[in-house]
Structure formats: C-alpha cells, structure tokens
A = this chain, B = another copy of it.
C-alpha cells in the first residue's frame, strides 16, 4: 500500500496554514491518504535550538511580508494575528482526539481548517478552550464530550507522542510533509511533493 502523506504542523505556523489549504488537492490528485499530525513547535525548538521566524533579525520582516505575499499568490485569505506565536495545546489535543476516535475521524480535516482559519483569518484566540470547543462543535464534534476528552491523560499522552515521533522522524519545522522517510519542509515544498508523486521520486 502506498505511503500516506503525513502533514506535520503547528497551528501557530503561517506556512503550515498556507500548506494546509493546498495539501488536500495534492493528496487527492495522487490518491494518497492524508494524516494530520499536530506538533508543539515550542517543544521541538527546545531540542533543535530553533526559533520563530518572525523573531529573527531581518528574516522577521521578510517573513511577515512573505506570509502575506504567499497567501495572495494562492488566493488564500490571511491576516497576521496580533498575538503570535501561540501554543494552542488544547486545539492540538482536540485534533489528536478527533483523529483517534473512529466515529469522529472524518471530521479531522474540517477541524484543522476551522482552527487554522479562526487564527489566521479571523484573528480569534485559539488558545482559549471555549473557542476550541466552539470550533469543534462547528464541525460536528460534541462539545461536552470533547471538553472531557481534553482533560484525559490518554489524549495528553497522544499529543506528547506526536511530538516525540516528530523528533524521531527528523521533523524540525512546520509544515513538514512526510512520505515514508522522505521529508518535505515548508509551504514551498507542497509543489515539490506534488512533482515527486507525479514522477515517482527522482
């Protein structure tokens, strides 16, 4: 069976958001399953010494300009949030929970999109648990059941495992698309992944 496309991302990542709006078309075109895998970039950066792009001298202003430019190119709505970066741990736990529940798993993509758009289009506070529950309810996830799940040890552990797995697999940034061991890092690489699948690698 063909490898799925694993889409590793953080909700605070502008390029992750942009890629999230484009990756499904690539997966569909090549008949690949898509797996949404949230990580905590803050935890990864502790291991790698990485830092948010926007905080780097010179690279910061360039990045802010490029987020908006890259969005415009693809006709994706985008507004840099005033509060940035954010951890949004509950939002990520919600994704892991929904993805892991057979009855809810088909809502995972919708929840990811709703959360990303809430942050990068509407400027909502996705670190707020009530907002997370609202977004989940909007895609058909029961609010009270999710509220309980967000406190579950198993759900917390599941997100921790995502981060550990990311580090083991060599994922150091968002978005990173993995096809087996082959990693494609960055929004720019959505196109490369598309060509890779088209040509069967090179």
Contact = CB atoms under 8 A, between A and B. Distances in A.
Interface of A: 47-50, 56-59, 61-62, 65-66, 69, 72-73, 167, 170-173, 183, 185-186, 188-189, 191-192, 195, 202
Contacts of A49: 56-57
A62 B172 contact: yes
- Specify how many copies of this chain sit in the oligomer: 2
Which of A65, A172, A173 is most buried by chain B, counting CB atoms within 10 A of its CB?
A: A172
A48 B192 CA distance: 29
Contact of A172 (B47, B57, B167): B57
A172 B15 CA distance: 19
Contacts of A192: 73, 188
A62 B185 CA distance: 9
6 contacts: A48-B59, A58-B171, A62-B170, A66-B185, A73-B202, A188-B188
A53 B147 CA distance: 42
A114 B107 CA distance: 54
Contact of A59 (B57, B172, B188): B172
Nearest to A74: B202
A69 B188 CA distance: 15
A73 to B, nearest CB: 6
A70 to B, nearest CB: 8
B183 A62 contact: yes
